Amino acid sequence: MRSQTISPEDEFLGEHHVYEPHRAGLPKMRPYFRELWRRKSFAFELSRTEMHAANTDTFFGQAWLVINPLLLASVYFVLVQIVSGRSQPPEYFAHLTSGLFLFYFISGAMLSGASSVVSGGRLIMNTSFPKMLLPVSATYTAFRRFLPTMIVYAVLHLVARLPVGLNLLWVPVVLLEAVCFAFGLSMLFATLQVYFRDTKSFLPYGVRIWLYLTPVLWFADAAPARLQPFLPFNPLYGIMGSWSQVLIEGEPPAKTLLLLGALWSLGTLVVGGLFFMSREREFAVRI
Amino acid sequence: MPDTARVISPARPAISVSGLDVTYRTSVEARPTLKGAIVRLGRPQRSIREIEALKNVSFDVPNGTVLGVIGANGAGKSTLMRAVAGILPPTKGKIEIHGRVSTLLALGVGFNGALTGRQNVVLGSLAAGLTRAQIELKYDEIAEFAELGDFMDMPMRTYSSGMYSRLAFSVAVNMDPDILIIDEALSAGDAKFRKKASERMLNLAHNAGTMLLVSHALGTIKTMCSEAIWLHKGQLIKRGSPDEIVAAYTNFLEVGETALTMEDV
């Protein structure tokens, strides 16, 4: 007698599996995400061990999580002072650091996401699991690195006597947009890296140009008038704009900016996720 | 594991493979270059060659069977193991599995040499779907069986190949799998560990576990397995008793059962 039927699409579940060619390309969503959720501790554990391993042999150890953003902010501050040749308004340094830190979170998730699948090659060749765990872990690591930078920023915020009020409650909303956007990019570039191994070498240059095109080193309203119409085409324009408004001006973000950020982040999340999932069963063959 | 968990209807095979094709697509160019890509522009198909690693392979493995898989290098043995483990998707056909699978594949555990043996074991098991509590329960058993001592907390890049192999084997057998897939497990272990591992595998086989065993050591196939299949260039040539298959295979190789192929290599 047959035991109770377990639905055959439970690809990763313990007891009964059916493997068939995937014509449609995408796995069944519900069992996929159920298994992803069930194995989430893998992503966190991987992130934890990697962060631990990254700084064990340095003198300052985990303090680098704070030293890094401080040095980064100083470098760009000096650069902008020299290039512009005049002193900036007092809130400028706060704008610069807050923007830089958020930008580095997103680009960090993107860069480590890009290598996450390829460097997890041996695991992929030996275990059957939802590969999305790898970019999840990369994004989570980037976020864990981002959190200490917010402490650095908080100090700067107070020193610059910027407004502290209820409008700061918008911070998690904008951060959520940034996390979705970063995760989407992470999956997108993880997949691209499998097929086109030069991705990772090009990426840092793309990231740098993107930084200069984004209102981080400059204020959005300071852009030349003829360039203003093109600004919204930068995927980061909405997120960065809202971020600066909430933190520096202490106001709720403009609806258009918030909406623009939400559209870009959801779009990237969906496109990156579907691209990743439709390709992930081929990773074992490509690595 | 309680015995009741292993009582599965004998009518339902543990592994059922039907009409399985696995085709790899690889770039033919030894080095994919930009120049090559530009020259080829518009004719993308030319750079891709399809390798049919498995062609129309069908077989069932009833519960409690220890199935040996033999064949020359490039016969598709490892591909078959990966397909059964759900790592490589079939190009055609269907694979049906009843039971919890644990794999010991050629590359072994430890996907990151910078991490310690312990971290690699924990991460590998989490990815395979075990909970933290289950891993904690198993961990001591795994470490003890592998006999690695303090090396469990050293980065895996410091391991010798034998240590790798011991840890990998220990992880695979201590997961209490219903189905154990072993691909060239003991190639690097020393004689003492190989003996211990063989005993453990026999033990598992006696407990009505199902096992797929890939080995070039024909002696191992003869002693361990209850059935065997012979793969050649992606096709299933013959299935039968281990003695029969080993004889057919060695006859095919035209070397006979010499000391060389019987040796536990």
Q: Please say whether the beta carbons of A272 and A187 come within 8 A.
A: yes
- Asked whether the predicted pLDDT for residue A5 surpasses 50, the reply is no
Residues of A in contact with B132 (CB under 8 A): 41
* Best CA proximity match to A237, nearest among A218, A83, A190, A153: A218
Report how far residue B135's alpha carbon sits from residue A80's, in angstroms, rounded to the nearest whole number: 52
CB contact under 8 A, B82 and A282: no
Report how far residue B166's alpha carbon sits from residue A209's, in angstroms, rounded to the nearest whole number: 49
Backbone angles phi, psi at B257, to 5 degrees: -85, 75
The reply to whether B114 touches chain A by the CB within 8 Å rule is yes
Token pair recorded at residue A210? 């993107």
CB contact under 8 A, B24 and A285: yes
Residues of B in contact with A3 (CB under 8 A): 8-9
Sheet hosting strand B92-98, strand order edge to edge: A16-19, B92-98, B15-27, B48-61
Token pair recorded at residue B223? 């002693």
pLDDT, mean of residues B231-246: 91
Question: Which of B92, B97, B131 minimises the CB distance to A21?
Answer: B92
Angle (nearest 5°) at CA B140 between B2 and B207:
30
- What is the distance in angstroms between the Cα of A143 and the nearest Cα belonging to chain B? 20
**Overall fold of domain B3-100+176-262:** Rossmann fold (3.40.50)
* Best CA proximity match to B111, nearest among A54, A281, A46: A46
pLDDT > 90 fraction of chain B, expressed in percent and rounded: 12
pLDDT at site A12? 53
Q: Given 3-state DSSP classes, what are the helix, strand and coil percentages for chain B, each rounded to the nearest 5?
A: 40, 25, 35
CB contact under 8 A, A285 and B25: yes
pLDDT, mean of residues B214-233: 88
Angle (nearest 5°) at CA A188 between A183 and A190:
90
pLDDT, mean of residues A87-112: 89
Cα A47 to chain centroid distance, Å, stands at 14
pLDDT tens per residue across span A184-230? 999 999 999 998 888 889 999 999 999 989 888 888 777 788 888 88
Question: Which of B83, B111, B178 minimises the CB distance to A123?
Answer: B111
Residues of A in contact with B99 (CB under 8 A): 15
Backbone angles phi, psi at B54, to 5 degrees: -135, 135
Output B189-198 pairs: Cβ under 8 A, ≥24 positions apart. Answer: B189/B162, B189/B165, B190/B162, B193/B147, B193/B162, B193/B166, B193/B169, B194/B264, B196/B145, B197/B169, B197/B173, B198/B223, B198/B224
Higher pLDDT residue, B149 or B265? B149
Using CB atoms within 10 A of its CB, is residue B127 exposed (0-12), middle (13-18) or buried (19+)? buried
The reply to whether A7 touches chain B by the CB within 8 Å rule is no
Angle (nearest 5°) at CA B178 between B68 and A45:
110
Backbone angles phi, psi at B110, to 5 degrees: 80, 85
Which amino acid is residue A92, in one-letter code?
Y
A237 confidence band (pLDDT: 50, 70, 90): very high
Residue boundaries of the structural domains of chain B = 3-100+176-262
The reply to whether B248 touches chain A by the CB within 8 Å rule is no
* Best CA proximity match to A114, nearest among A26, A184, A49, A25: A184
**Angle of helix A91-119 versus helix A133-159 axis, rounded to 10:** 170
Token pair recorded at residue A240? 């960065």
CB contact under 8 A, A35 and B128: no
CB contact under 8 A, B9 and A284: no
The reply to whether B101 touches chain A by the CB within 8 Å rule is yes
pLDDT > 90 fraction of chain A, expressed in percent and rounded: 48
A99 confidence band (pLDDT: 50, 70, 90): very high
Q: Dihedral sign, CA of A107, A112, A118, A123?
A: negative
Tell me the ipTM for this assembly.
Answer: 0.79
The reply to whether A26 touches chain B by the CB within 8 Å rule is no
The reply to whether A73 touches chain B by the CB within 8 Å rule is no
Question: Which of A38, A53, A122 minimises the CB distance to B111?
Answer: A122
Token pair recorded at residue A225? 């008038």
CB contact under 8 A, B89 and A19: yes
Least confident of A160-164, A187-191, B22-26: B22-26
Report how far residue B14's alpha carbon sits from residue B12's, in angstroms, rounded to the nearest whole number: 7
Q: Please say whether the beta carbons of A238 and A258 come within 8 A.
A: yes
Closest chain B residue to the Cα of A125, Cα to Cα? B87
Residues of A in contact with B8 (CB under 8 A): 3
Question: Residue B24: helix, strand or coil by DSSP?
Answer: strand
pLDDT at site A87? 74
pLDDT at site B36? 64
pLDDT tens per residue across span A18-77? 887 765 578 888 888 998 999 999 999 999 988 888 777 778 878 888 888 889 888 988
The reply to whether A20 touches chain B by the CB within 8 Å rule is yes
Q: What is the DSSP letter of B152?
A: G
pLDDT tens per residue across span B178-199? 888 888 766 667 888 888 888 8
Average pLDDT, chain A: 86
Using CB atoms within 10 A of its CB, is residue A230 exposed (0-12), middle (13-18) or buried (19+)? exposed
Report how far residue A94's alpha carbon sits from residue A98's, in angstroms, rounded to the nearest whole number: 6
Size of interface A-B (CB pairs under 8 A): 110
The reply to whether A3 touches chain B by the CB within 8 Å rule is yes
pLDDT tens per residue across span B150-179? 988 988 888 888 888 888 888 888 877 888
Best mutation target among B95, B109, B119, B180 (most A Cβ atoms within 10 Å) is B119
Best mutation target among B80, B123, B125 (most A Cβ atoms within 10 Å) is B123
C-alpha torsion angle, residues B185, B188, B190, B195 (rounded to 10):
10
pTM of the model: 0.84
- Asked whether the predicted pLDDT for residue B31 surpasses 60, the reply is no
- Asked whether the predicted pLDDT for residue B96 surpasses 50, the reply is yes
Q: Please say whether the beta carbons of A220 and A237 come within 8 A.
A: yes
pLDDT, mean of residues B47-55: 80
Closest chain A residue to the Cα of B119, Cα to Cα? A49
A145 confidence band (pLDDT: 50, 70, 90): very high
CB atoms closer than 10 angstroms to residue B69 = 26
Closest chain B residue to the Cα of A122, Cα to Cα? B111
Report how far residue B95's alpha carbon sits from residue B97's, in angstroms, rounded to the nearest whole number: 7
The reply to whether B115 touches chain A by the CB within 8 Å rule is yes
Q: Which residues sit opposite B239 in a β-bridge? A: B229
- What is the distance in angstroms between the Cα of B50 and the nearest Cα belonging to chain A? 12
CB contact under 8 A, A128 and B87: yes
SS3 assignment for chain A: CCCCCCCCCCCCCCCEEEECCCCCCCCCHHHHHHHHHHCHHHHHHHHHHHHHHHCCCCCCHHHHHHHHHHHHHHHHHHHHHHHHCCCCCCHHHHHHHHHHHHHHHHHHHHHHHHHHHHHCHHHHHHCCCCCCHHHHHHHHHHHHHHHHHHHHHHHHHHHCCCCCCHHHHHHHHHHHHHHHHHHHHHHHHHHHHHHCCCHHHHHHHHHHHHHHHCCCCCCHHHCCHHHHHHHHHCCCHHHHHHHHHHHHHCCCCCHHHHHHHHHHHHHHHHHHHHHHHHHHHHHHHHC
pLDDT at site A86? 73
pLDDT at site A178? 97
A82 confidence band (pLDDT: 50, 70, 90): confident
Report how far residue B113's alpha carbon sits from residue B163's, in angstroms, rounded to the nearest whole number: 13
Angle (nearest 5°) at CA B236 between B230 and B238:
55
Chain A contacts in chain B segment 156-195 (CB below 8 A): 178
Residue with tokens 């060239």: B184
Report how far residue B23's alpha carbon sits from residue A152's, in angstroms, rounded to the nearest whole number: 53
